């Protein structure tokens, strides 16, 4: 390749990186709809906050929930497949990792083996 072609290729790559970085930075900034959630007011909550809370409380109080759904045959035909959990007593073991008396340990086989020892004499 000659020098003008390499220079042109490098210039195109740099331009793509700059344009990509610009769009990446634009995408990471908050939009106007989400920036309304961030408040720059550092004062304590005043009357406007309590007015908002009262307005929300009135909206909740004015909700009208229709309970007729709970009397429909589709809802009443539902069955519960829940499992009852049997309560068990919790003991007071000082060491929860100590072996339980009467229960064999899974690490012991119950077979006692004796290791044979021998001495090897070497002659010089």
Is the pLDDT at 23 greater than 60, yes or no?
A: yes
pLDDT confidence band for 19 (50 / 70 / 90): very high
pLDDT tens-place string over residues 72-82: 999 999 999 99
Residue 13: pLDDT over 90: yes
Instruction: Confirm if 69 and 75 have CB atoms less than 8 A apart.
Output: yes
Question: What's the CA angle centered on 13, arms 10 and 18, to 5 degrees?
Answer: 125
Q: Where are the domains of the chain?
A: 1-27
């Amino acid at each position: 390749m000659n020098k003008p072609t390499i220079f042109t290729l490098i210039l195109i790559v740099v331009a793509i990186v700059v344009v990509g970085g610009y769009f990446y930075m634009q995408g990471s900034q908050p939009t106007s709809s989400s920036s309304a959630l961030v408040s720059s007011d550092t004062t304590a909550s005043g009357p406007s906050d309590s007015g908002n809370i009262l307005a929300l409380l009135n909206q909740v109080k004015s909700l009208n929930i229709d309970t007729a759904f709970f009397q429909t045959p589709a809802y009443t035909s539902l069955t519960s497949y829940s499992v009852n959990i049997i309560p068990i007593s919790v003991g007071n073991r000082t060491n929860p990792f100590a072996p339980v008396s009467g229960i064999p340990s899974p690490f012991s086989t119950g077979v006692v083996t004796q290791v044979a020892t021998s001495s090897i004499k070497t002659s010089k």
